[in-house]
Structure 1
């Protein structure tokens, strides 16, 4: 329950800070396969990136990331939250993606007490720090949002827009687009993201996640073989 002794806007301020791209969880180190697509010429323009974002919303976000965040936010107990984290871990087929999500989630949990000191004793945070759970980013952010009394729709919106921002930021650093194009792309993808969030909220909470986006998955798998790399994955 929301502590009414606190200013009503405080949970929103905490959400905005936690989901901001400037919050140092290390997402800048990962391109999630985009660097390979740029290096091979498969993505070379704003239009090409718009198509990637469209399919990213339809598959990884709609089928995998958002349902996991929804299940984490709805988890009635710490064991259930750990089950969500484990199920999401098993749904990631690429080691690089699994490593990136874990690294960002664990960093989020490490820094969460800087936003809210009470989160330092959260059972999920303790489990991840003790090596009892992988600590994936969408699960960690959803758990944090629940502790802030942020409703599920806003939580999924934060998870989704953060994922889109990460891809657009990578494309900007790779020189495919500029900041203005990045803003257009995220705004253009927002209606599809909103529809995906509505669909996830309307369906039963589940612990089976998976998506089908072979273009990005193959690109991510080929990333370690690039002769020059800007990103960790």
Structure 2
């Protein structure tokens, strides 16, 4: 990375919906939650996303990203990647993280000329940020906001919600993104844990829906 490159611009580009990782294809179980009648309005959706961020994949992926950013050896990075895959509560949630990670690695390696290999999305993103000398906490904040933005976009289509409701939800979640980033940055893998049970159940049920719009 050259001295004139703005880290924020790189991260915004990487985490933009235009970056070809296919994030739009994944609802993280929201599709099944709507089908079950668990999400019917903006308030329920906002609470659901807060739980996913604070007690589920949001927190865990942030910790995994930070660990990958700090990893000093290929062996350590491989251990983190294996753990990230094992933490996925369903086959399609594993697909969600691994397919996006592979797409991110492929594109980012080609664009920036850095050595990246397929791994779960937060792991390969953390590694790329380290190789490009991007600040860890900034990477975490923007990653979390992008994750929640994608799920909000899915909810807008599925619940359905209005665009303004979607932006209200995201605005309310912005402080949580900053808090989780600050907590995850110094955390080690012992801090991993999840109790977003309904989200995990929804991810499993989504796999057997008769009609599906999303891959997770």
- Could you say which TM-score interval applies, normalised by the shorter chain? over 0.9
Displacement of 1:197 in angstroms is 1.5
In the superposition, the TM-score normalised over structure 2's length comes to 0.92
CA RMSD in angstroms comes to 1.7
Q: Are 1:25 and 2:21 an aligned pair?
A: yes
Match of 2:109 in 1: 113
Structure ID, larger Rg: 1
CA separation in 2, counterparts of 1:22 and 1:64? 25
Displacement of 1:71 in angstroms is 0.2
Q: Are 1:162 and 2:151 an aligned pair?
A: no
CA separation in 2, counterparts of 1:185 and 1:136? 27
Summarize the alignment of residues 33-44 of structure 1 with structure 2, pairs less than 5 Å apart. 33-44=29-40
Match of 1:98 in 2: 94
Question: In 2, are the aligned partners of 1:26 and 1:104 still within 8 Å (CA)?
Answer: yes
Q: Are 1:71 and 2:78 an aligned pair?
A: no
Per the alignment, do residues 208 and 85 of structure 1 end up closer, same or farther by CA in structure 2, a change over 3 Å counting? Answer: farther
Figure out how many residues of one structure are paired with residues of the other and give that number.
Answer: 216
In the superposition, the TM-score normalised over structure 1's length comes to 0.86
Q: Which runs of 5+ in 2 are unaligned?
A: none
CA separation in 2, counterparts of 1:143 and 1:37? 33
DSSP-derived class of the 2:207 partner: helix
Question: In 2, are the aligned partners of 1:103 and 1:136 still within 8 Å (CA)?
Answer: yes
Displacement of 1:172 in angstroms is 1.5
Match of 2:79 in 1: 83
CA separation in 1, counterparts of 2:58 and 2:162? 27
Summarize the alignment of residues 1-233 of structure 1 with structure 2, pairs less than 5 Å apart. 3-4=2-3, 7-9=4-6, 11-61=7-57, 63-116=59-112, 118-119=113-114, 122=115, 124-125=116-117, 128=118, 135-203=119-187, 205-206=188-189, 209-233=192-216
Displacement of 1:141 in angstroms is 1.2
Per the alignment, do residues 54 and 208 of structure 1 end up closer, same or farther by CA in structure 2, a change over 3 Å counting? Answer: closer
CA separation in 2, counterparts of 1:224 and 1:53? 20
- Superposed CA deviations along residues 92-135 of structure 1, whole A, max 9, x for unmatched, are 2311101111000000011113431x21xx1x42xx3xxxxxx1
CA separation in 1, counterparts of 2:208 and 2:126? 34
- Superposed CA deviations along residues 54-80 of structure 1, whole A, max 9, x for unmatched, are 111211245411110010111112221
Question: In 2, are the aligned partners of 1:66 and 1:200 still within 8 Å (CA)?
Answer: yes
CA separation in 1, counterparts of 2:122 and 2:185? 15
Per the alignment, do residues 12 and 115 of structure 1 end up closer, same or farther by CA in structure 2, a change over 3 Å counting? Answer: farther
